Amino acid sequence: MRTLSLLMGGLLLAGGATWQVNLPAPLASHFDRLAAAESLTVDYTGRYLGEAAATIHLSMAKPNLFRLATPDSTIVCDGKTITTYLVKDKSYTEAPVTEEAIATFAARPEVRVWSAFLLKQAKADVLSAKAGGKRNVQGNEVSEVTVGMKNDTTGTLYVDSKLGVARGASLKTGAKEYLVLATKLELDKAAPAGEFSFVAPEGAKKVEPIKPGDASFASVQAIFNASCMPCHSSQNRRADIDLTNHRGAVSAVTPGNAAESRLVRSLKPGAPKRMPMNRAPLSDAQIAQIEAWVNAGAKP
């Protein structure tokens, strides 16, 4: 009986413990170096496979300071407030820093490779990892590491042999593959003055951020009705998408994750066939409304 009790106790302990993958040395270095670094600056290209590449700038410093600049937007956090500026609309929103907001930012496809700089439990996302060979990427020796991660993500990280941090990656979530390749990667180098302060461009207007409670299906259906008909009506169903009702619209998105939703991605610059076809693109504000609805769970 004593032996049985010990075995049962061991099983309970194992069941309550957090299981963690034995990370290959290059990947362990990647996580540890990012966790220990006081600052990180990366200039790189990022793109979904099959789409045009975008030049991106990412800089981060502890605690919770960051700037992400893409052709479409700039997101700046001064440690207390996150400001998001939309280039096309010349508008910006401000939101307080919360753990959820930091996690949402770290989960962006442009940031995820280096998310361990911001997230303490980033290693817990790794479900499997295997070290591969070495190769040369733009004159830098890197070690390949294949990974399996939560949220149905797999891919390969290219960890710089000298810096011990990934300077490139290919991460596939579902059927969507995102590629990044750094042209500049620096650790623990002081950021330029004002890097984490937002200065509104001339003519920019401040708007109130869309609240999850305001992101109703009715609000996005009005956009669909004005811009997506008759191609995506119940009669035509182009690409097998019907946007006249909630059931049809939700089948084209990933509830809770606008970044990985094919409908949202089809609305943005760089999409192979940007929607609406043969019409003016949706405004950044309209796209933000649809993103807010999806991120809030794409509810009826």
Give per-residue pLDDT as tens, 79-89: 999 999 988 88
Lowest mean pLDDT among 77-86, 89-98, 263-272: 263-272
Task: Please state, in angstroms and rounded to a whole number, the distance separating the CA atoms of residues 103 and 126.
Answer: 16
Cβ 103 vs Cβ 116: under 8 Å: no
Lowest mean pLDDT among 59-63, 184-188, 276-280: 276-280
What is the pairing mode between strands 166-173 and 73-78?
A: unpaired
Q: What is the 8-class DSSP label of residue 253?
A: S
Output the pLDDT for position 77. 97
Output the pLDDT for position 109. 84
Give per-residue pLDDT as tens, 147-193: 998 877 899 999 999 999 999 999 987 677 889 999 999 999 999 99
Give per-residue pLDDT as tens, 196-213: 999 999 999 998 776 655
Helical H segments across 182-257, by residue range: 217-227, 246-250
Cβ 114 vs Cβ 33: under 8 Å: no
Residue 163 buriedness (CB in 10 A; 0-12 / 13-18 / 19+) = middle
Is the domain defined by 19-124+176-187 classed in CATH 2.50.20.10? yes
Give per-residue pLDDT as tens, 232-257: 988 888 889 999 899 999 999 988 88
Q: Which residue has the tokens 């979530």?
A: 173
The b-or-e profile of 13-49 (16+ CB within 10 A means b, else e) is eeeeeeeebebbebbbbbbebbeebebbbbebebbbe
List where CATH 2.50.20.10 sits in the chain. 19-124+176-187
